[in-house]
Amino acid sequence: MSRYLGPKLRITRRLGTLPGLTKKLAKRLYRPGQHGKTVNKLTEYGLRLQEKQKLKFNYGLTENQLYRYVKESRRKNGITGLILLQLLEMRLDTICFSLGFSNTIVSARQLVSHSHILVNGKPVNIPSFQCKPNDIITVKNKISIKNLIKSRLESKLALNIPSHLQFDNVKNEGRILDYCSRNDVLINLNELLVIEYYSRR
């Protein structure tokens, strides 16, 4: 399945707030669809599917990409759910979003794809590029891009930078201090249900 390009507010009405997908708020608070106003209790499978969909839409992943991240998190030693979130939070497009270079992960992916982002001084145009601690993230030395990033950083959206990242306002560069903790993840999610969802595969 290809990346989702449809209406975003329908997704947030169904799954809740997804900061990586959109900052807009829906006027209607009930779920979309003909039976959206009726409250139906979800089955166990439905709950797991819903948590998986939150992760998929927030980070803008395809089904195969998310499954590969789950398999990789299983191979590593530690808490599988936390490792999965750390892998997703260390993607270059997510790092750019967390530093405040863009309002959503979708727009951060566009910045990276157009080679406007430098990692340790080298241009990287792969949104899924896995960053590491002590990597330095900067913007290409181009006036139009620097002005765009500067205006976004001055907005209120860029004030809450996670504790695993550091941003230098003078140099306009971000540094990755460490892997993120569970408290740094903005999305309201039970990651264990995602692991359970993929346990049958």
Tens digit of pLDDT for each residue in 73-96? 999 998 999 999 999 999 999 999
Number of structural domains the chain divides into: 2
Report yes or no on 46 lying in a domain: yes
* 122 Cβ neighbours under 8 A, 6+ residues apart: none
CATH number for position 132: 3.10.290.10
pLDDT score for 2: 61
Angle at 19 between CA 153 and CA 45, to 5 degrees: 160
Q: Quick one: tokens of 72? A: 């990789």
**3 has a pLDDT exceeding 80:** no
Segments forming the whole domain that contains residue 41: 8-87+186-198
> Domain of 63: which CATH number?
1.10.1050.10
Q: 3 lies in a domain?
A: no
* Residue 1, pLDDT above cutoff 70: no
Does one domain contain both 67 and 104?
no
Which of 20, 50, 65, 91 lies closest to 190, judged by CA? 50
Q: In which band, very low, low, confident or very high, does the pLDDT at 46 lie, cut at 50, 70 and 90?
A: confident
31 and 82 together in one domain: yes
> Same domain for 100 and 172?
yes
Asked if residue 40 has pLDDT above 80, the reply is no
pLDDT of residue 32: 74
Using one digit for the tens of pLDDT, what is the confidence trace for 139-193?
888 887 777 777 777 765 545 788 889 888 777 788 999 998 888 888 888 899 9
User: What pLDDT, on a 0 to 100 scale, did the predictor assign at position 54?
Assistant: 92
Does residue 121 lie within any of the structural domains? yes
Tens of pLDDT, residue by residue over 93-134, are 999 998 888 888 998 999 999 989 999 989 999 999 999 999
Given a contact cutoff of 8 angstroms between Cβ atoms, the answer to whether 48 and 198 are in contact is: no
